[in-house]
Amino acid sequence: MSILLFLVFFPLLSLGHTLEGCEDSSCNNDGPVIHFPFRLSHQPKHCGYDLGFELHCNNKKDTILELPSSVHLVVEKIDYVSQQIHLYDPEECIATKLPKLNLSQSNFTNDDYPTDLFNCSAPFSDNNYGYYLVPCLSSPGYQVHAVTSTSRLQYFLYGPCTKIHQYPYSHSTFGENKLQLNWLIPLCGNCEFKGMDCGFKNGTKLSETHCFNRTMTHKGNTKQPLIAGVVLGTALVCIIVFSLYQLYLTSRNERESRVRLEKFLDDYKAIRPTRYSYADIKKITDDFNEKLGEGSYGTVYKGRLSSEIYVAVKVLRDSKGKGEEFINEIGTIGRIHHVNVVRLVGFCADGFRRVLIYEYLPNDSLERFILPVSSNLGSVSLISWNKLQHIALGTARGIEYLHQGCDQQILHFDIKPQNILLDHNLNPKICDFGLAKLCSKEKSVVTMTAARGTIGYIAPEVLIKKLW
């Protein structure tokens, strides 16, 4: 039970270790959603890739990214599929901070062309030739323009302009006070495109990441896995309790069956056949070496009590109704001695093992002779009509003895060719008393709760409520 509970809750515990405190976050309702490879500064380190992806919230609830060296910009948007982050300067003059920016010390890149800044004494119309005015650096009679295309530098090189700086970043960002950066590592865009989470394998901080099903990505849904785990765990506990209860009932029924059987055997010590241990049975059958037949009742093996006495050993399967069939067999056939009834030599009731030992009859059953051709039985020689009459009369004498010759009437309820065994002279012997019932000779009516016997061989009177 403990192992099963562990197997159920271990994935949830593992998930909790990997994503604990790593649910989607944001500094304000309108701010960008933050999750791996980014993390807020108060979240555990395994929530983000490394220090370069650490974000924090300022007093105005803006999302701030710190870039080398000491460049603080506000995060406007994070595109996790394209692996891009859009930044802007809260002081509205990003050009003053870019000289201090060194992306070589970070995980971010900017793939645009370098930008040249020119101080021009004469005014230009903004963006007429692909250049942009930088308002925060300009003043009356002193304009600063950002230009990237070298083909347009002629307007500045030969005009009233002086180059004052060059940045390795796109010129278009200056006019809009924005900067767009990309990251190549870790590669999580494919996971995001599939609607999956991205993170470190096994929750360890390695460079290698993997995709996993999104379960705790939305803020406010962090309790869903816990609820699912509780429901699943409760269901499993109920199943285990029910299984243990069924096992207890089965074990109790088996114990009651064994006690009942032992009590019955004690009551019939004087008349019962010889009792053998299961070790004796294995020795008698030479460790179940030769099989004679098999049916729904169990398997029959050939055995030998001595050099001249052979027996048929029937190893029963689980008895129905707490062992009634086994008790019926011993209680009825154990006290019968008739030429047309098979003789019970002994039995075994060793723990849960039930075995019956009969005299060995070499010619098998009557079924073998009245069904000469069968896919299972093979082809055998037919016997004469006189011998069939002899078998029929012998079977009738055996039944008559069961009904009238014993102290109590014995109703067999399962007379059929398979239960008529033949000795070496083809003399019939009735066997298999598992469904037999004892009743007083004074009674002419026997009450039954259900029909007994094999379909096709049940007497018509058995199918009604009273047996006359």
* Residues with active-site annotation: 414
User: Dihedral sign, CA of 117, 120, 125, 128?
Assistant: negative
- The percent helix, strand, coil of the chain (3-state, each to 5) is 30, 25, 40
| Alpha-carbon distances, residue 424 vs 342, 364, 398, 428 (angstroms) | 13, 9, 18, 10
CA 263 to chain centre: 45
User: Dihedral sign, CA of 436, 440, 444, 445?
Assistant: negative
For residue 324, the SS3 value is: helix
Instruction: Decide: 345 and 273 in contact? Cβ < 8 Å.
Output: yes
User: Dihedral sign, CA of 279, 284, 288, 293?
Assistant: negative
Strand partners, 447: 466
Task: Count Cα atoms within 13 angstroms, Cβ side, for 459.
Answer: 11
CA 452 to chain centre: 42
Strands (DSSP E) along 196-326, which ranges? 197-200, 209-212, 274-275, 291-294, 298-304, 310-316
Q: What H or E segment, with its residue span, contains residue 429?
A: strand 428-430
Output phi, psi for 94, to 5 deg: -65, -25
- b/e map 199-208, b = 16+ CB within 10 Å: bbeebeeeee
- Nearest-angstrom CA–CA distance, 248 and 378: 46
Output phi, psi for 245, to 5 deg: -65, -45
Instruction: Decide: 43 and 22 in contact? Cβ < 8 Å.
Output: yes
Q: What H or E segment, with its residue span, contains residue 181?
A: strand 178-183
Preceding amide of 37 cis, omega within 30: yes
Residue 322 is assigned to a ligand binding site: no
Residue with tokens 């390795």: 168
Instruction: Decide: 169 and 111 in contact? Cβ < 8 Å.
Output: no
User: Which letter does DSSP use for residue 269 in this model?
Assistant: T
Provide the annotated binding site for ATP.
Answer: 314
